[in-house]
Each structure stands twice: as C-alpha cells, then as structure tokens.
Amino acid sequence: MKRSSPKPDTVGIRARLSGAKAGLPLAKRVSAIFSHTASRVTWHSHKQFELLFVLDGSTVYEFQGCEPIELAGGHFMVVPPGMMHRGEQDLRMPTTLIGIVLAFDARGATRNTPFTVRELGWLRRHFNANSLTVHPLGQDLRRTIVQLDKKLGGKKPNQDELSMAETRLLVCSAISGAARQLSAVEDHDSQFIVNAAIDYMRAHLNEPFSVGNLVNHIGYGRSRFFELFRDNTGMTPNDYLQRLRLEAARGLLEKTSRPVTDIAFEVGFNSSQYFSTVFLQYTGLTPTGFRGRTVR
C-alpha cells in the first residue's frame, strides 16, 4: 500500500521558548503563532503581564468583566496579571502573533537584560497604566517583532549560545520598545485623548455619567487616562463634567425662561435641590439669584 506523503503545514507553526531555557528569567515564556486557519483559544490567565504583538491578520479578545478588544495587524496590547481572557467565541482567526509573558518577580529577573531593578519597577507601573488598550507597533518595534518572529519560527532554529544571546536581545528590545512606544503615543495623543473625552461628556451631558463608559469609549487605560486628563485640565473627569454642566446651565438661565427644575434635568442633575446646591457652591448665587442678576 502506497503511503501518502505528509500534507504541508497549513495550520501553522507554534513555537514556544521558556525564559529559563533562554537564560532570561524576566520572560517566563515567549510564544510565536503562525496560524493560517482559525484555532481554539480557551479562557486562561497569567500571573504576570503578557505582551501581545500582532504582525498581520486580526483577532478579537474577550475579557471577563470588560468589553471585547480587536487586535489587528500592526498593533499590540498589554494584558494585566490575573485577567481571564480568550479569543472571541473561543476562536482566534488567522494571525501572526508574538506573545511574551513577563515575570517581574522572578529570581534574578535582571539577569542577561539591560534593565535594573528600578527600571523593572517602572516598566511594571507603565504597563499596568496602559493595559487593555490597543497601540500601534511603530516602525522600530515592528522591525524588532519581525526579527523575533523569524528567530522563533524558523524551520531549523539554531540553538547555539550566540543564537540564544540574539534571542535574548530581541526579547529585551521588544519589551523596551513596547514601553517606549506607549510613551510616544501618550505624548503625541494626550491632548487628542482629552479632547475626545470632553467631546463625549458634552454629547452625553444630560445622561447619568459613568467613568467606566467614558474610559471604554476612549479606549485607554483607566489610571493613565485620569493622569493625562488631570495634567491637561487640572481637574478630574468628574470635576470637569460638573463644570460643563454648570456652564450649560448658566447659558440656559441667561437665554431662556425655562423653570430651574427643567434646566437641572436638562444638564444632567437628578434633582433641582442638588443642582441649586452645586450652583451656589461654584458661583456664589442660587440659580434664581443668578437669573435675576442677568435679567435687564
């Protein structure tokens, strides 16, 4: 009986390298996925941060307690420790993806890296502040991920010491490049992000306000978003929303004869009493007193 020849690898190559084997305790695991068909990805989590870099294709991740996130080619994302996640509907569509699970608390985490203990602490805080949001790779970081992709996914990987040294260098470059790209995006887009948040507040002025909905709309890490917003406005999002509501109320009090209660609900307050209290606190006048002062 004639034996059929093996079919070409259409599903793809899965390559995995442990940090221990590579002499890099900081990286618990580095994985490369070359998938030409959908593959199953079940619910799972990691005790440490995971960096996900997508070179091409597209995948959607589900997170317990959070909205799904689409991760397309040319982008990356930081998944925080302990976050349960999976490919949407338990599937990952065709992608080329590199995943790095970090181990900041590992013994000797700085060994064979350019990072000091203090710098690892900064990386941990930086990744935490920018987790669960999608960011562009940028040219330098993409080049690094492409090289790491080739290094891990080669058909005959070279396991000599020099090859491992090159792999360690690429992994460290990917980690530092991700942090640098996050900083570059923040500096360039911080005002745009704040303006988008303010536009969202104006558009939903008379609705119950949810910081969670705002953060999800902006698509940015919660703690870092609050920091950017305060740096650009000097206020928290809640304080700024209060100011927007009061500005809108002042305009309605000046230009219309509508009852104070109607105006209070129009600008998002849930009672005229609370509206009057806040208005007095910010302006030194009651709504009626303010209207009386402006009537000629």
Predicted confidence (pLDDT) at residue 233 exceeds the cutoff of 60: yes
Residue 231 located in a structural domain: no
Q: What is the pLDDT of residues 70-84, one digit of tens each?
A: 777 888 999 999 888
* Closest residue by Cα to residue 172 from 47, 32, 27: 27
- What integer pLDDT is reported at residue 27 of this predicted model? 95
Q: What pLDDT digit, counting tens, does each position of 15-43 carry?
A: 888 998 899 999 999 998 865 555 556 77
Count: domains in the chain: 2
Q: Is 79 among the domain residues?
A: yes
The per-residue pLDDT for 281 is 85
Whether residue 28 lies inside any domain: the answer is yes
Q: What is the pLDDT of residues 133-146, one digit of tens each?
A: 888 888 889 999 99
Q: Are residues 143 and 261 in the same domain?
A: no
What pLDDT is stored for residue 248 in this prediction? 93
Question: What is the structure's pLDDT at 41?
Answer: 62
Per-residue pLDDT at 286 exceeds 60: yes
Give a yes or no: residue 2 inside a domain: no
Q: Please identify which residue in the block is written with the tokens 């690892």.
A: 120
Predicted confidence at residue 135, as pLDDT, reads: 85
Judge whether residue 189 has pLDDT over 70: no
Q: Are residues 181 and 64 in the same domain?
A: yes
**Contacts within 8 Å (CB) and 24+ apart, 60-67:** 60/87, 60/88, 60/93, 61/85, 61/86, 61/87, 61/88, 62/86, 62/87, 62/88, 62/89, 63/132, 66/132, 66/216, 67/216
- Place 217 in a pLDDT band, splitting at 50, 70 and 90: confident
In this prediction, residue 87 carries a pLDDT of 67
Please tell me the pTM assigned to this model. Answer: 0.59
- pLDDT > 90? residue 252: yes
Looking at residue 284, which CATH number applies to its domain? 1.10.10.60
Q: Which domain holds residue 246?
A: 239-294
- The CATH code of the domain that includes 67 is 2.60.120.10
With respect to residue 200, please indicate whether it lies within any of the assigned structural domains.
no
The predicted model gives 188-206 an average pLDDT of: 84
